[in-house]
Amino acid sequence: MQIQWLGHACFAITHKGYTVLIDPYNADYTNGYPKLRVRADKLLVSHEHFGHNYREGVQLSGRPESDCPFTITALQAPHEFKLGNWRGFCSIHILEADGFKLVHMADLGTQLDGGQISRLYGADVCMICAGSATALPSQEAKRVTDEIMAKVIIPMHYRDGNRGGHRLEMVKDFAWHFESPEFIHYYDTDTLTLSPDMEPQVAVLKYLGPEAWKSLAWQQEKKEKTSLLSRILRKK
C-alpha cells in the first residue's frame, strides 16, 4: 500500500492497483501549487472549500465500486472551534484494507469526542493538518495524534516556502511538539510505502510536483484518425 502526497491536503492512496484520491485542491486558491490534473479510481472530498473539492482536476477511471479494496467510512467533525457555526463541518475519512487503518483528518477544527477517538484509535496512518488558522493549531493537532495513538503521522496542509497560505504554520512548528527528534523522519520522496513492521514516526513527505505523478497521469482523449478517403466518402 502506497500513500503519495500531491500537496496541501491531497493524497493518492494506492492498494492492489486501485487508487483513491482525497481532497484535490484548486490551484487558483491554493498558493504556490500547480494546476492539478490527475487520474484516480475513486475520489473523496472532505468538505466544499476550494482547497479540497477541485473535482474538475480529477479524471475518474470508471471502475466499479466492487473493485475498491478499501472499506471507507466517514465521521463528521467541525471545521473550527465554533463547532461548525463559522466554517461548517468536514468529513474525517477512514480507509481500511488488509489490516491497515488510514485516517485523513481533513480540516479538523476541534478536539475529538470519546466516540470519535474510539473509532480512530490505533490508526496505522494519520494524515493531519500541521497547523492552520482555520483548523487546529499545531500543538492541538499533535494532541489529537496522541489521543488516537496513531503509529505513522503524515503532516499536511502547511506552509512550505511559497506553497501554502501565509496563515498556515510550517511543518517544523508541528514537529517541534514531539519530544524525540529521531521520531521525525524527513523523506526525499513524496510517497510512503506501508508495511506491518513500519516503526512509529512522523513522516514528513517531500513535495515533488507533477513530475512525480506519472502513474496518475490524466489520459488524453484519443482523437479519431480518419483518412482523406473516409472523409470524402462520409460527405457523400
User: What residues pair up with 153 in beta bridges, in sequence order?
Assistant: 126, 202
Residue 227 resides in a domain: no
pTM: 0.89
| Residue 230 included in any domain | no
* Sequence-distant (≥ 6) Cβ neighbours of residue 111 within 8 angstroms: 136, 140, 143, 144, 147
Instruction: Report how many domains make up the chain.
Output: 1
Dig out the grid coordinates for 88 from the structure: 461548517
- Residue 221 pLDDT class (50, 70, 90 cuts): low
3-class secondary-structure state, position 134: coil
Rounded Cα distance, 93 and 215, in Å: 23
Residue 21 belongs to a domain: yes
For residue range 172-198, what is the model confidence (pLDDT) as tens digits? 999 999 988 899 999 999 999 999 999
Which three cell numbers mark 25?
485542491
d(CA 142, CA 136): 9
Question: Is 236 inside any structural domain?
Answer: no
Is 235 part of any domain? no
CATH number of the domain where residue 113 is located:
3.60.15.10
pLDDT digits (tens, 9 = 90+) for 49-103: 788 899 999 999 999 999 999 999 999 987 665 554 456 789 999 999 999 999 9
Q: Please report whether residue 233 resides in a domain.
A: no
Q: How far apart are the first and last CA of the chain?
A: 56
Q: Is residue 232 part of a domain?
A: no
> What is the rounded CA–CA span in Å between residue 78 and residue 107?
8
Residue 228 within a domain: no
Read off the C-alpha cell for 113: 469526542
Which residue segment(s) compose the domain that 48 sits in?
Answer: 2-219
222: buried, middle or exposed (CB in 10 Å: 19+, 13-18, 0-12)? exposed
